[in-house]
Amino acid sequence: MASVAIVGGGPAGSSVALHLLRQGVDPADLVVFDKAKFPRPKLCGGALTWRGTRALEELIGRPAGGGRTISLEFRCALGRFPVRERGEQWLYDRAALDDQLLRAVIGAGVEVRQETAVTSVEGLDGGWRVRWRGGTQRFDWVVGADGARGVVGRSVELHGGFVGRLVEAVYTPVDEAPDDSVLYFDFDPIGDGIPGYAWIFPYPKPGERGLWKLGIMDGRGVTTGRVLRQWTDAFAERNGFRRLDAKIAGWPERYFDPRARAHLPGLILTGEAWGVDPLLGEGIAPALEMGRYAAAQLKRALDQGVRRIEAYEAGFRATEEGKNLVFQGRLAKLLYGKGSHRWLRVLFGHEYMKELAAQGTQAYGRLQQHTWKLAGSYLRQVLRGGIPPNRPIPSTMGPQLETSAP
């Protein structure tokens, strides 16, 4: 059978491998490369939405450890509203979660080469030469599941979506802790000219209690890391938290762009190497779902003995996850674009959306199913009260903050 190299053993790489195996691919045909030794740290809030929780459960059952939340709260200077999910949402320390996923791959008989950083992939004899420090090997197929800074995409000039900037650290409440069954999404950064949001998530670190992760996402990558760190500490202080980590760490995030290419003959990108949710930066659920899609497409190509996957990108955009990422991208363009203050007012003043969010009958990330109803009810609101102004929403930080925004 054809040989397949999966570069990256995070959620996307593990999902591809496990789904390929489920479809009958021989474990001996797969090799997973990861530069890290698992369990490895991964800067991440570790929060899954309900649909991510379902996708994970379906893949390996409920991983050990972790925590649970039951809803989201969206808030900013304009107010707050709950976003209820259909069921519980799991929350993990990523080192522990990714380790359990990868162990399922190893347990199924796949060779996983840890501490093996792939340095390039090059076309070779109708396949690909995968190069790492100390060796090379030819594979028929390569799956780039190597995340935001992936080497596979860079090697073959498939650049995935655009890149944002995030920072995060571990904090503890000074006095009373907030409700730890809620994930808090705070859009105040927009008032300070930062196109993104900040989060407060409980952090279920194995063996410890009372920890939280606070951070901020700049969905356009225009704010300096220094400002993001300064903002996060000030945000933490306002919300009654004290930082425990000596430093606030930073990591980029690659977002889904419907125009980005993710396939060459014998090679596909998946997970964050291709791009994740541009609005909230949710990446675990997309990585699991993109992995499922990539595996199905790859299996069909292997069965047919072809190196091209017809409409790999368009086919994904037509899936539920693909539609969701496109929808989230459109919202991100509004909320993080030139009219961000107006669209934040729309978001926090949109009665039908708030109703929908509070019902607990929709999974977050499935709002695209209601696009027309949402647009219709927004139009009715505009007819009644006019278009919300783009007047600056009060800043929480005072005079701003250097960004490199134009």
Phi and psi for 235 in degrees, rounded to 5? -60, -45
**CA proximity to 287, closest of 128, 97, 132:** 97
Choice between 10 and 388, CB closer to ligand FAD: 10
Choice between 25 and 325, CB closer to ligand FAD: 325
State the DSSP string of 321-338. HHHHHHHHHHHHHHHTST
Strand (E) or helix (H) holding 215:
strand 212-218
Rounded Cα distance between 178 and 175, Å, is: 10
The CB-of-336 to ligand FAD minimum distance in angstroms stands at 16
- Strand ranges in 1-64 using DSSP code E only, listed in sequence order: 4-7, 30-33
Choice between 118 and 194, CB closer to ligand FAD: 118
Choice between 197 and 343, CB closer to ligand FAD: 197
Choice between 293 and 378, CB closer to ligand FAD: 293
Contact 37, 114 (CB under 8 A): yes
Choice between 252 and 339, CB closer to ligand FAD: 252
Rounded Cα distance between 194 and 180, Å, is: 26
The first and second tokens of residue 155, run together, are 């090697």
Residue type, 146: D
The first and second tokens of residue 398, run together, are 């005072």
Contact 218, 195 (CB under 8 A): yes
The CB-of-47 to ligand FAD minimum distance in angstroms stands at 4
Choice between 35 and 220, CB closer to ligand FAD: 35
Contact 69, 47 (CB under 8 A): yes
The CB-of-170 to ligand FAD minimum distance in angstroms stands at 12
Choice between 33 and 184, CB closer to ligand FAD: 33
End-to-end CA distance of the chain: 52
The CB-of-217 to ligand FAD minimum distance in angstroms stands at 7
**CA proximity to 182, closest of 45, 321, 69, 17:** 69
Chain positions contacting ligand FAD, by CB under 6 A: 7-13, 33-36, 42-47, 117-118, 145-147, 150-151, 166, 168, 215, 251, 253, 271-272, 276, 281-285, 287
The CB-of-48 to ligand FAD minimum distance in angstroms stands at 6
Please state at what angle helix 351-359 crosses helix 371-385, rounded to 10 degrees: 140
Measured at CB, which residue is nearest to ligand FAD?
A: 283
The CB-of-164 to ligand FAD minimum distance in angstroms stands at 9
The CB-of-345 to ligand FAD minimum distance in angstroms stands at 26
Residue 406 CB neighbours (<10 A): 5
The CB-of-275 to ligand FAD minimum distance in angstroms stands at 9
The CB-of-41 to ligand FAD minimum distance in angstroms stands at 10
Q: Residue 135 contacts by C-beta under 8 Å, 6 or more apart in sequence? A: none
Beta bridge partners of 357: none
Choice between 43 and 374, CB closer to ligand FAD: 43
The first and second tokens of residue 282, run together, are 């949710």
Instruction: Provide the 8-state DSSP code for 24.
Output: T
